[in-house]
């Protein structure tokens, strides 16, 4: 059964408000009681709030779609988790000791998400480009949500103790960037994949390859922003020893740099540039695509 969202419901506002209140309540309870049994609630609500809200926002602004709630749920959870697990395994085996690791990570993770996208897209009655964007964004947001929860736990658990400050800081950072990375990149691939469908079947076209390479490069640039920021900071404000180490690609940790504002400006500037380019590309594909035809009236 296809969704018909001709009347804007603004359900995303209720989803965001309820999720935010539950996250705040869980966080306050964790701080006041120091009871680690509350920790999963803080991580889940903090990591999933923005991605889930973004999906509801897209659905509220989508008039007709062949995507039903069950398929979107599978795309978010199943494709997102399987993509993350496949990417983690491949990165463990392929990336270590290789040059340009961020580039490898970008191509691996975008391939894993693209495979999940293809699996959940099979069997649709039609392949409208806007549905491809929506399904791709859903897969990417699911991938990003589970990845964010892992990072939150990694930063929040130190030597067996819970650092609430580190946990909340990481969750808030990833909540801010969530709408501009994984969902956008997989949305590009979804648009190209659905645009290339013929006779009710998905096909590997030149457009799909171009979209995949574009998404992977945006992903690699996003992940490599911190490294680029370190290089620029050393070149601009570093001393002779740091510049000498840079020639051997011995990069200092960002916390060891004296000019933190230079590092932060370059890091966030590059990430913002990647976000703007990605959103602009998805927006262009969305606007150029013809709206899906409305479902036939019952009776």
- Give 150's contacts (C-beta < 8 A, 6+ positions apart): none
- Residue 243, CB half-sphere, CA atoms under 13 Å: how many? 6
Q: Tens digit of pLDDT for each residue in 262-287?
A: 888 999 999 999 999 999 999 999 98
Checking if the pLDDT of 4 tops 70, the result is no
Q: Tens digit of pLDDT for each residue in 80-115?
A: 888 888 888 888 888 777 778 889 999 999 999 999
Per DSSP, what are the bridge partners of residue 158? 161
- Tokens (6 digits) for 167: 């946990």
What is the radius of gyration, based on Cα positions, of the chain?
21
Closest C-alpha to 171, from 268, 29, 27: 27
Assign 34 to helix, strand or coil. Answer: coil
Q: How distant, in Å, are the alpha carbons of 67, 94, 183, 219, 277 from that of 102? A: 33, 12, 18, 8, 18
Per DSSP, what are the bridge partners of residue 4? 64
**pLDDT value of position 118:** 95
- Give 100's contacts (C-beta < 8 A, 6+ positions apart): 220
**pLDDT value of position 255:** 65
- Give 5's contacts (C-beta < 8 A, 6+ positions apart): 59, 60, 61, 62, 63, 64, 65
Instruction: Give the start-to-end residue ranges of the domains of the chain.
Output: 64-288
């Amino acid at each position: 059964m296809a969704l018909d969202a001709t009347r804007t419901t603004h359900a995303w506002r209720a989803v965001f408000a309820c999720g935010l209140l539950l996250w705040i309540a869980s966080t306050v309870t964790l701080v006041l009681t120091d009871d680690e049994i509350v920790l999963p609630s803080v991580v889940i609500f903090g990591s999933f709030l923005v991605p889930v809200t973004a999906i509801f926002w897209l659905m509220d602004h989508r008039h007709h779609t062949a995507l039903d709630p069950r398929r979107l749920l599978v795309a978010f959870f199943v494709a997102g988790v399987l993509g993350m697990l496949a990417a983690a395994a491949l990165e463990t085996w392929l990336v270590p000791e290789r040059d340009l690791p961020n580039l490898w990570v970008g191509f691996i993770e975008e391939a894993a998400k693209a495979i999940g996208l293809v699996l959940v897209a099979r069997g649709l009655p039609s392949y409208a480009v806007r549905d491809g964007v929506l399904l791709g964004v859903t897969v990417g947001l699911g991938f990003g949500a589970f990845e964010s929860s892992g990072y939150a736990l990694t930063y929040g658990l130190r030597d067996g103790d819970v650092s609430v400050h580190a946990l909340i800081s990481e969750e808030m950072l990833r909540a801010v960037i969530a709408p501009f990375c994984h969902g956008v990149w997989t949305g590009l691939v979804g648009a190209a994949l659905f645009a290339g469908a013929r006779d009710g079947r998905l096909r590997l076209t030149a457009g799909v390859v171009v979209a995949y390479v574009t998404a992977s490069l945006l992903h690699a640039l996003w992940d490599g922003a911190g490294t680029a920021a370190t290089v620029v900071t050393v070149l601009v404000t570093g001393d002779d020893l740091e510049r000498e180490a840079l020639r051997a690609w011995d990069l200092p940790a960002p916390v060891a740099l004296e000019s933190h504002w230079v590092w932060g400006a370059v890091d966030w500037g590059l990430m913002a540039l990647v976000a703007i380019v990605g959103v602009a590309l998805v927006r262009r594909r969305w606007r150029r695509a013809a709206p899906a035809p409305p479902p036939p009236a019952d009776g």
